[in-house]
C-alpha cells in the first residue's frame, strides 16, 4: 500500500508541475487570463502529490514496512521514534523526497501569495520556472532516486537503521530540514529573476517582490549552517565545529553569494546600479544550491555528510548545465537593457563600500569553490586523488574575513553618492574608539598573536559601528529603531561580530591533549583539575553505552562511547562544560578496559566558543527584524513602489 500511495504521489506531483507550466505558457500566449489562473492552481496538485508521498514514506518507516526498499536499507525496528522520522532525510532517496516536498510547498505558497496577480506575465513566468524545477526533481524521484522501489524481505527481516552518526543527536531532526528550507527557498528569487529577463521588466520591481523571500531563505540557510556546526561539535568528538569538509563548503557557497546579493540589491534599489551583477548573484546562488546537491548526493566525495553513490549525479550536472546556459543566454539577450544609467560617484560612499563588500564575498566564494571542486577536476582529468585541507581555506579566507569586518564597520557610516572628509571623521570616531578599546581589553585578558589581535580589533570596530547605528535609530524612533531592513541588518551585523569573536578565540587559543586514566586518578589540564570518577554500562534497544563520569573542578561531565547493535559501529558522545569564557569538552576515545577500568580521554579547551552560537541566534533575530516594516506608512510606500515599478517595466 505504501509503495502504491508513494509512487502515485510522485506521479501526481510531476503531472501537476508539467500541466501547470504548459497551461500558464499557453495562457501567456493567448488573450485568456483564465488559463494563467487555472495553471497556478496546479501548484496545489504538485504539493498534494508530494504530501502524499511524504506521508507514505513516514507511514512505511513508522510501521517498519520493509517491502519498501528504502525502509529495508535504512529503517529498523530498533530505531527510536524521533530518529525513525528523521530517517527519511538520512539517505539519498528520502532526502530528495524532502527536497521535493519543500519545493512543492514553496510553489504552493507563491501561487497563493500572488493569486491576485496571476495575469501579470512576470508572476506567470516565475511560476513556470518553479514548475519546471519541480518537474525535474519529480523526474529524479521516478528515476535514479526512486524512494519507493519494492523489496521482498525474508521472514524475520530487520533493517540496519540509519547511520549511527545520524541517530545519536536531536539536531538530526532540525539541521537538514532547516538547511533545505534555505537552499530551496532561493528558487523563488531565482524564478522571478528569470521572469524579469524573459519579460524585459528589469527595473527594481522584481527585487521588491522577492526581498522577503530572499531574506527568509538566507535566514533558514544561516540557521542550517549554525545548527550543523553545533551538531558536529556535539557529536563527532574531535573538538571542532567546522572542518572545511566539501559538503560543509557546499552549504557555505550559496550563503556567501546570497549575502552578497542582500547587500548589493540595496544599491540597485537606491541608485539603479549593479543590475547585471544582482541578476547574476541570484542565479549563481540557485545554481550553487544545485551544485551543492550534486556534491552531497552524487557519491563523488567521501564525507561524513555525503550519501552513498547513486545515479543522480549526471542528472544534476545536466540540469546545472542547462540552467547555466539558459541564464547566460537571457542575460546576453537583455544586455543593452541591463545597462545602468550612471555609475558610482565616489569610492568613498555607501555604494562604493557595498561594491567592495561584494567583491570580498565573491572572492571568498571563489576561494571556497576552487578548493572544493579542484580535487574533483584533478581526479576526472588525471585519475588521481588529491585533497585540499583546512590550511588552504584558513590561509585564503582569513584576510577576506578581516576585510569584511572592516567593511561592516565602514559601510553604515558612509552616505550615499559621496562623503566628505569631515563627515566621515565625525561618524567614525566612536567605531574607532571601540576598536582601540577592544584591542586593549583583549591584551589585558591575555590575548596574544598578531592575527588574533587584529581580528578582535576589527570585530570591535564593526560591533561599535553597528551599535552606533542602532543607538541613534532608537533615540529617534524608540523600539521601532530596532526593526526595518537597515536596523535589522545592524542586528545581523552584531551577530556576525559575536560569531567572529567566537571563531577567533576558539581557533586561536585552543588547547587539546589525550590522557590515559584509571579510576580516582587526576591530571592537570591548563588551569583545571580533571579526575576520573567512575564508569557504567547502559543498555538500550538499539545500542550499548559505555559511560564514564569525569570531574572538572567540581563539575561532573559524562562522555560516552556507544556501540550500535545493528552495525556494531562505535560512536563517541562527548560531554562539554560551557561558559561565556571557555568551553571544556571531554571525548572518550577508549572505553573502560581491563580489571582496572582504565580509559583514554581527549580534553579540548576552546575560549569564547559559546559566542558562535550566540552570534548565530542574534543573526536570526536580525533576519526577522529586517523583515518587519519600520512603519505602516513605509510599508504602504513600498507597495506603491512595487506597483509603480511594475507599471514602468510594462511601459518599457
Q: Is the pLDDT assigned to residue 140 strictly greater than 90?
A: yes
Confidence of residue 110 (pLDDT cuts 50, 70, 90): very high
Instruction: Give tens-digit pLDDT for 195-234.
Output: 999 998 887 778 888 888 999 999 999 999 999 999 889 8
Residue 641, pLDDT > 60, answer no
Which pLDDT score is estimated for 554?
Answer: 87
Residue 652 has pLDDT above 50, yes or no: no
Range list of H helices, 509-554: none
The pair phi, psi for residue 145, each rounded to 5°, is -125, 50
Examine the pLDDT at 642 and tell me if it is beyond 50.
no
The pTM for the full model equals 0.90
Banded model confidence at residue 81, pLDDT cuts 50, 70, 90: confident
Residue 41 is predicted with a pLDDT of 93
CA atoms within 13 A on the CB side of 132: 16
Give the whole-angstrom CA distance, residue 94 versus residue 578.
35
- At 369, list the grid cell: 569553490
636, pLDDT greater than 50: no
CB within 8 Å of 222: residues ≥ 6 apart:
182, 255, 616, 619, 620, 623
Position 160 scores a pLDDT of 87
Q: What is the gyration radius of the CA atoms in the chain, in angstroms?
A: 27
Residue whose C-alpha cell reads 552606533 in the numeric block? 468
Which residues does 36 contact at the CB level (< 8 Å), separation at least 6? Answer: 23, 24, 27, 28, 118, 119, 124
Per-residue confidence at 482, pLDDT binned at 50, 70, 90?
confident
Over residues 572-599, the mean pLDDT reads 89
Share of the chain above pLDDT 90, in %: 52
pLDDT level of residue 342 (50, 70, 90 thresholds): low
Task: Report the C-alpha gap between 625 and 520 in whole angstroms.
Answer: 52
Instruction: Quote the pLDDT of residue 201.
Output: 86
Average pLDDT over residues 304-332: 81
For residues 7 and 397, give the distance between their C-alpha atoms in angstroms, rounded to a whole number.
45
HEC profile for 460-511?
A: HHHHHHHHHHHHHHHHHHHHHHHCCHHHHHHHHHHHHHHHHHHHHHHHHCCE
Rounded CA gap, 600 and 69, in Å? 40
In this structure, the number of other CB atoms found within 10 A of the CB of residue 600 comes to 14
Across residues 466-486, what is the average pLDDT? 86
The whole-number pLDDT of residue 97 equals: 95
Question: What pLDDT score was predicted for residue 112?
Answer: 93
Which cell goes with 634? Answer: 513605509
CA distances (Å), 562 to each of 231, 535, 538, 544, in order?
Answer: 17, 13, 9, 6
511 φ, ψ (degrees, to nearest 5): -125, 135
Residues 130 and 191 sit within 8 Å (Cβ to Cβ)? yes
202: Cβ–Cβ under 8 A, 6 or more apart, which residues?
196, 275, 334, 337, 338, 649, 652
The pLDDT confidence band at residue 299, using thresholds 50, 70 and 90, is low
Instruction: Look at residue 640 and tell me whether its pLDDT is greater than 50.
Output: no
pLDDT of residue 181: 95
Q: What mean pLDDT is reported for the chain?
A: 87
Amino acid at each position: 500500500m505504501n509503495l502504491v500511495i508513494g509512487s502515485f504521489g510522485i506521479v501526481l506531483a510531476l503531472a501537476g508541475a508539467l500541466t501547470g507550466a504548459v497551461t500558464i505558457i499557453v495562457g501567456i500566449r493567448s488573450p485568456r487570463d483564465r488559463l494563467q489562473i487555472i495553471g497556478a492552481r496546479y501548484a496545489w496538485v504538485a504539493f498534494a502529490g508530494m504530501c502524499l508521498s511524504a506521508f507514505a514514506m513516514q507511514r512505511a518507516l513508522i510501521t517498519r514496512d520493509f517491502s519498501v526498499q528504502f525502509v529495508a536499507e535504512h529503517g529498523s525496528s530498533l530505531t527510536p521514534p524521533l530518529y525513525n522520522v528523521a530517517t527519511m532525510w538520512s539517505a539519498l532517496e528520502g532526502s530528495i523526497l524532502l527536497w521535493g516536498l519543500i519545493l512543492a510547498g514553496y510553489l504552493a505558497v507563491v501561487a497563493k501569495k500572488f493569486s491576485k496577480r496571476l495575469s501579470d506575465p512576470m508572476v506567470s513566468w516565475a511560476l513556470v520556472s518553479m514548475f519546471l524545477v519541480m518537474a525535474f526533481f519529480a523526474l529524479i524521484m521516478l528515476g535514479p532516486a526512486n524512494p519507493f522501489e519494492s523489496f521482498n524481505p525474508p521472514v524475520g527481516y530487520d533493517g540496519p537503521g540509519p547511520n549511527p552518526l545520524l541517530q545519536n543527536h536531536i539536531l538530526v531532526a532540525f539541521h537538514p530540514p532547516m538547511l533545505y528550507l534555505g537552499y530551496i527557498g532561493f528558487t523563488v528569487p531565482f524564478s522571478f529573476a528569470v521572469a524579469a529577463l524573459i519579460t524585459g521588466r528589469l527595473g527594481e520591481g522584481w527585487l521588491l517582490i522577492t526581498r522577503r523571500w530572499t531574506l527568509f531563505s538566507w535566514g533558514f540557510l544561516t540557521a542550517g549552517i549554525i545548527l550543523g556546526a553545533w551538531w558536529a561539535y556535539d557529536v563527532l568528538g574531535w573538538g571542532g565545529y567546522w572542518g572545511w569538509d566539501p559538503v560543509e563548503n557546499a552549504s557555505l557557497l550559496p550563503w556567501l553569494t546570497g549575502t552578497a546579493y542582500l547587500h548589493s540589491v540595496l544599491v540597485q534599489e537606491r541608485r539603479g546600479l549593479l543590475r547585471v551583477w544582482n541578476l547574476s548573484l541570484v542565479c549563481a546562488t540557485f545554481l550553487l544550491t544545485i551544485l551543492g546537491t550534486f556534491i552531497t548526493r552524487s557519491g563523488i566525495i567521501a564525507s561524513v555528510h555525503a550519501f552513498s553513490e547513486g545515479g543522480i549525479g549526471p542528472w544534476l550536472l545536466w540540469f546545472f548545465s542547462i540552467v547555466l546556459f539558459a541564464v547566460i543566454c537571457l542575460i546576453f539577450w537583455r544586455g543593452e537593457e541591463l545597462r545602468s544609467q550612471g555609475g558610482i560617484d565616489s569610492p568613498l560612499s555607501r555604494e562604493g563600500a557595498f561594491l567592495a563588500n561584494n567583491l570580498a564575498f565573491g572572492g571568498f566564494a571563489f576561494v571556497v569553490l576552487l578548493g572544493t571542486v579542484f580535487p574533483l577536476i584533478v581526479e576526472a582529468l588525471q585519475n588521481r586523488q588529491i585533497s585540499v585541507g583546512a590550511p588552504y581555506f584558513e590561509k585564503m579566507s582569513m584576510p577576506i574575513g578581516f576585510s569584511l569586518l572592516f567593511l561592516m564597520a565602514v559601510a553604515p557610516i558612509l552616505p550615499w553618492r559621496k562623503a566628505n572628509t569631515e563627515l566621515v571623521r565625525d561618524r567614525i570616531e566612536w567605531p574607532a574608539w571601540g576598536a582601540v578599546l577592544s584591542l586593549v581589553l583583549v591584551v589585558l585578558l591575555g590575548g596574544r598573536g598578531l592575527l588574533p589581535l587584529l581580528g578582535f580589533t576589527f570585530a570591535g570596530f564593526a560591533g561599535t559601528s553597528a551599535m552606533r547605528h542602532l543607538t541613534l535609530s532608537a533615540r529617534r524612533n524608540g523600539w521601532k529603531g530596532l526593526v526595518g531592513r537597515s536596523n535589522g541588518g545592524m542586528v545581523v551585523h552584531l551577530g556576525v561580530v559575536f560569531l567572529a569573536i567566537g571563531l577567533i578565540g576558539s581557533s586561536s587559543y585552543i588547547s587539546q591533549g589525550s590522557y590515559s586514566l584509571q579510576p580516582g586518578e587526576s591530571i592537570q589540564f591548563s588551569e583545571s583539575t580533571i579526575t576520573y570518577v567512575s564508569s557504567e554500562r547502559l543498555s538500550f534497544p538499539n545500542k550499548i553505552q559505555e559511560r564514564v563520569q569525569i570531574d572538572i573542578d567540581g563539575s561532573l561531565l559524562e562522555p560516552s562511547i556507544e556501540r550500535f547493535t545493528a552495525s556494531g559501529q562505535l560512536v563517541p558522545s562527548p560531554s562539554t562544560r560551557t561558559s561565556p569564557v571557555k568551553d571544556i569538552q571531554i571525548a572518550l576515545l577508549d572505553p573502560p578496559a581491563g580489571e582496572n577500568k582504565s580509559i583514554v580521554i581527549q580534553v579540548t579547551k576552546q575560549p569564547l566558543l559559546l559566542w558562535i552560537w550566540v552570534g548565530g541566534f542574534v543573526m536570526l533575530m536580525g533576519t526577522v527584524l529586517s523583515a518587519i516594516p519600520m512603519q505602516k506608512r513605509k510599508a504602504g510606500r513600498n507597495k506603491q513602489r512595487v506597483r509603480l515599478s511594475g507599471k514602468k517595466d510594462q511601459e518599457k
